[in-house]
Amino acid sequence: MGRIQTKLYLASADVLEDASLFARLLETVPRERQEKVRAFRNTGAARLSLAAGLLLNLALRDCGLQAGEIRTGEYGKPCFPALPGFHFSLSHSGSMALCAVSDRALGCDIEQIRGDRLRLAARFFHPQEYAWLLALPEEERQEGFFRLWTSKESFIKAIGRGLSLPLDSFCVLPGEEPALRQTADARPWFLRSFLTGEYACALCTQTPAGDAPLVTVALDKIQLGD
């Protein structure tokens, strides 16, 4: 397996409201993903799960690889045991799905920017993060919250700890290149935070990935069988 470039894939799941397209694309993802999609009673959640699976399929194809059996770690982080040099992270929110891949551990997160979350920040965020939010003009706090939230989520996904790691046990210092203060993992970690439409996104990697390409995918243009 050659070197895998760190890359992000983004797609809207709205096109999957077309039942015929949904059914056809469902047949192109691995059986395990099909079963996961079919288990959702909420059709919106099913569309997002399928969208994430399609992006992962596309990322594997771009790397010249094929999906194998997926296993999960102690805290639920998925991986392909047969592809130890291929790392991926999936996230979805609202109507958008995000997939990040690399040849080293990483995590990504996407969240739709909506609602007042200041009370949530007061309860779960590091004191320095909460103080930073309060210092923002009131009209900027909502976006600021979601920039912090996605950055923190991407980190805990990258190290494979999930929410077993308290959100107030580490600190993200926002900026064009957010800084991370943490003692949970000895490896170096770098954050990238960006907005796309009404969504906040973050990527956490072991090497700087500010120039990692973002590929916007039209799911209805994916060739069946890819």
Kindly report whether the global pTM for this prediction surpasses the value 0.75.
yes
What domains can you pick out in the chain, each with its CATH number?
Answer: 1-103+210-226 (3.90.470.20), 105-206 (3.90.470.20)
Buried-exposed string 117-147: b where 16+ CB fall within 10 A, e elsewhere: bbeebeebbbeebbebbeeeeeeebbebbbb
State the angle between helix axes of 31-38 and 43-62 in degrees (0 to 180), rounded to the nearest 10.
Answer: 160
Per the prediction, the chain carries an average pLDDT of: 93
- What is the separation, in whole angstroms, between the first and last Cα of the chain? 20
Rounded mean pLDDT of 19-37?
A: 95
Distances (CA, A) of 176 to 82, 126, 131, 192: 36, 20, 18, 8
Give residue 1's pLDDT: 59
pLDDT band at residue 16 under the 50/70/90 scheme: very high
Amino acid (one-letter) located at 108: C
Rounded mean pLDDT of 52-58?
A: 97
Does residue 6 sit in helix, strand or coil? coil
Give residue 200's pLDDT: 97
For residue 226, is pLDDT > 60? no
In total, the chain counts a number of residues equal to 226
For residue 68, is pLDDT > 70? yes
Does residue 42 sit in helix, strand or coil? coil
Amino acid (one-letter) located at 65: L
